[in-house]
Chain A
Amino acid sequence: MSEDKVEQAAVADEPSPARLIGTLAIAGLVSGVIIIAIYLATFETIKENKARELREAVFRVLPNVSKMQKLLLKEGKLEVSYKEEKGEEPIYAGYDDNNTFMGYAIPSDGPGFADTISVLYGYRPSDRKVIGMWILASRETPGLGDKIYKDAAFVANFDDLAIEPPIVATKRGKSKPNEIDAITGATISSVAVARIINKGNDYWVSRLPEPGAEPAYVEVETPPEAEDAQAQ
């Protein structure tokens, strides 16, 4: 057999390019349908999970709060918002059972020891104090840096904390109203939390309305989705 013939025989065994492309196309199509189906099937639940997680965090950093609403800064004014907006930077207002304003829950983030730490903290404008802190996301070292949310004593530092002058983490035992006790072995993480809250205060405190002029709680009669549909 000459070399030419061997090559021809080999080519005859090869599937045509159309068959190769067809196989991949069918695999891709079936895969796409399955992925979209599972995405749609779980979408609502995942959204609810995220909303519940946020609500729980807000209730944790604002004591005695039973209702919350999202606020967005629009042209220098805080407005109640229900919609998801791209690139939004919301804060949350908490109210008690009688719809009395109790404080703001402010998200802020910044670099920690391992990765970005996302913090949510409660701020009461009437006496300019931080009244609670919760870590939304962090990748700090297990057993050391993760004490910023696992160590109840450290979290309690933020239950009644003055914000002026800026919060300071100290290793010598706190003695001033703006000081917190840093965790032994996790000084960088502790200082980072203080810095992240200071950063949030720097931005937000001057932009918040005068105490007493906070947006009132709006009872939602029609669900926001229905409102959207009407607007269109």
Chain B
Amino acid sequence: MAKEQLAYDEFMKGLWRENPVFVQVLGLCPLLAVTNSAINGLAMGLASFFVLLGSSILVSLFKSYIPKQVRISCFIIIIATFVTVVDYTLAAALPVIHKELGAFIPLIVANCLILGRMEAFASRNTLRMSVADAFGMGAGFLFALVSLGAVREILGVGELFGIALFGANFEPWVIMILPPGGFITLGVMLLYFNWLEEKKNKIDKQLATEDGVN
């Protein structure tokens, strides 16, 4: 029971409390580049999720065999192998999406979020915890990509996952699917997450003082 609770905690940590994008502000290059539509965000999120999960499992399994002097090279070899698998699989199965994402699939190799999780978590924790961590961080990244993509697509094109939402009178806010729109949306979302954090801290403080009085 306690173990399950811990694993659940690791998962929620990545998805929400320490969300890789909205709290840690990592992996912004693919985030800003591919989120001009929800479907692109979803594809990129799933690709990164798969790479992160696969690499976490392998790094966690082999952590005691990898000497620390060559660990970064080993992590990168593992990550690059998964990325190549994703790249070829997407090109074969979903050529249209593969073309849209272009160079950003190979660039997952250099995503600091993934190498960061290997170095900070998978290489120091059990397989079970590493899988929970990868699930959480992967889901958190996926959540950030899809929500950013959805907001930008709705405002910038008037569609969501390619389905028109508004009537013909809707004038799309083109800037939202251009690079500035990515920065604006990300900025607003970071603001929201910081506001949540501040509110939570205030409540915690209040509770603490009340406890003190009682």
CB neighbours (8 Å) of B92 from chain A are 42, 45-46, 49
Q: Is B80 an interface residue (CB 8 A)?
A: yes
In the complex, the answer to whether A31 meets B174 with C-beta atoms within 8 Å is no
Q: Tell me how far the C-beta of B37 lies from the nearest C-beta in chain A, rounded to whole angstroms.
A: 9
In the complex, the answer to whether B78 meets A144 with C-beta atoms within 8 Å is no
In the complex, the answer to whether B88 meets A141 with C-beta atoms within 8 Å is no
Q: Tell me how far the C-beta of B102 lies from the nearest C-beta in chain A, rounded to whole angstroms.
A: 8
In the complex, the answer to whether B66 meets A23 with C-beta atoms within 8 Å is yes
Q: Tell me how far the C-beta of A29 lies from the nearest C-beta in chain B, rounded to whole angstroms.
A: 10
Per-position contact with B for A103-145: 1 when CB-CB < 8 Å, else 0?
0000000000000000000000000000000000000011110
How many interface residues does A have (CB within 8 Å)? 25
Q: Which of A32-40, A77-85, A89-97 contacts B (4 or more CB under 8 A)?
A: A32-40
How many interface residues does B have (CB within 8 Å)? 26
In the complex, the answer to whether A39 meets B88 with C-beta atoms within 8 Å is yes
CA distance A34 to B95 in the complex (A): 21
CB neighbours (8 Å) of B95 from chain A are 46, 49-50, 53
CA distance A53 to B95 in the complex (A): 9
In the complex, the answer to whether A143 meets B77 with C-beta atoms within 8 Å is no
Q: Which residues of A (169-185) have their CB < 8 Å from a CB of B?
A: none
CA distance A23 to B174 in the complex (A): 51
Q: Tell me how far the C-beta of A185 lies from the nearest C-beta in chain B, rounded to whole angstroms.
A: 9
Q: Which of B70, B78, B174 contacts A20 (CB 8 A)?
A: B70
CA distance A24 to B66 in the complex (A): 9
CB neighbours (8 Å) of B140 from chain A are none
Chain B interface (Cβ < 8 Å from any Cβ of A): 36, 65-67, 69-70, 73-74, 77-78, 80-81, 84-85, 88-89, 91-93, 95, 156-157, 172, 174, 177-178
Query: Which 7 pairs from chain A and chain B are nearest by CB?
Result: A143-B174, A42-B92, A45-B92, A31-B81, A42-B88, A15-B67, A49-B95
Other A-B contacts than A27-B74, A35-B84, 20 sampled, CB-CB below 8 A, are A14-B69, A20-B67, A20-B69, A23-B66, A23-B74, A28-B77, A31-B80, A35-B81, A35-B85, A38-B88, A39-B88, A46-B91, A46-B92, A49-B95, A142-B156, A142-B174, A142-B177, A142-B178, A143-B172, A143-B177
5 contacts between A and B (CB under 8 A): A23-B67, A24-B73, A28-B77, A35-B84, A142-B178
Chain A interface (Cβ < 8 Å from any Cβ of B): 14-15, 19-20, 23-24, 27-28, 30-31, 34-35, 38-39, 41-42, 45-46, 49-50, 53, 141-144
